[in-house]
Amino acid sequence: MRLAVCVSGRGSNLVALLDALSGSAKAEVVLVLSNCAEAPALDRARERGIPAAAFTNHRDASEWIALLREHRVDLVVLAGYLKLVPAGVIQAFRNRILNIHPALLPEFGGPGMYGLHVHEAVVASGATVSGATVHLVDEEYDRGAILAQARVPVRQGDSAATLAARVLKAEHRLLPAVVLAAAEAGHPVPLPEPLELPA
Ligand code: GRF
């Protein structure tokens, strides 16, 4: 399965995915795309010899589709991609776009719920459990079918930053698990609950 990974910033989920896929005969990251030419994640890809590019216009579906077709991409993975995917791309790649979100959807998702805002809202809510969700991407932010979740405790005294760090570790195991399962099945599949993640 040929993967494109879309990123906006640091790229730690991209690196976790690349590490998990190294040596896999079933899935390969063939392209990394960003809305931001300065995203450190693009450097993480280039260091490993993976083609990496910033969109000229991230709102232009035809630019996305041309790149995805040129690289014969089967599955698109949003790993810290902060912009809306154009509707034309969602139509062209229906059920073949995944996103990772740093909370237990359907709670704490939707417009404006990204980065530390998510964890601030979780801490403020008094929830005792948070986590990460991988879901299919449709036309609405954070609303597509959920494929897998990993739970993480919210501890007394947690700040958004300490919770974010704990959730991120779970993200780094959850996203590769879902991608590897998709590669095995030939298309995205839900993972069993509760999920046993490798340490
Ligand atoms: C992750 O928490 C991801 O869930 C969210 O943005 C963050 C990206 O981190 N959508 P990184 O760029 O993968 O390090």
Alpha helix positions (H), the chain: 12-21, 40-47, 61-70, 87-92, 116-125, 160-185
* 86, HSE (Cβ side, Cα atoms, 13 Å): 14
Closest alpha carbon to 11 in 144, 171, 186, 141: 171
**Is 101 one of the catalytic residues?**
yes
Closest C-alpha to ligand 1, atom 8 = 80
Place of tokens 């494109």: 4
- Regions in the chain scoring below 70 on pLDDT: 194, 198-199
Distance CA 13, CA 33 (A): 14
Please give the C-alpha separations between residue 30 and each of 46, 52, 74, 134, 185, in angstroms, as whole numbers: 11, 9, 10, 21, 19
Distance separating alpha carbons of residues 40 and 121, to the nearest angstrom:
27
Please report the pLDDT score of residue 199 as a whole number.
62
Per-residue model confidence (pLDDT) at position 89: 98
Catalytic annotation, pick one of 58, 71, 101, 117: 101
Ligand 1 atom nearest the C-alpha of 102 is: 4
Q: How far is the CA of 108 from the centre of ligand 1 (A)?
A: 15
Query: pLDDT value at position 197?
Result: 72
C-beta of residue 137 within 8 angstroms of C-beta of residue 78: yes
Is the model's pTM score more than 0.85? yes
Strand partners, 74: none
| CA angle (75, 76, 82) in 5-degree steps | 165
pLDDT at res. 195: 74
Residues 6+ away with beta carbon under 8 Å from 147: 98, 134, 135, 136, 178, 188, 189, 190, 191
Q: Which ligand 1 atom sits closest to the C-alpha of 14?
A: 13
Distance CA 173, CA 100 (A): 11
- Going from the C-alpha of 139 to that of each of 7, 56, 68, 122, the distances in angstroms are 18, 22, 19, 24
- Crossing angle of helices 160-185 and 12-21, in 10° steps, is 40
pLDDT digits (tens, 9 = 90+) for 17-66: 999 999 899 999 999 999 999 999 999 999 999 999 999 999 999 999 99
Please report the pLDDT score of residue 23 as a whole number: 87
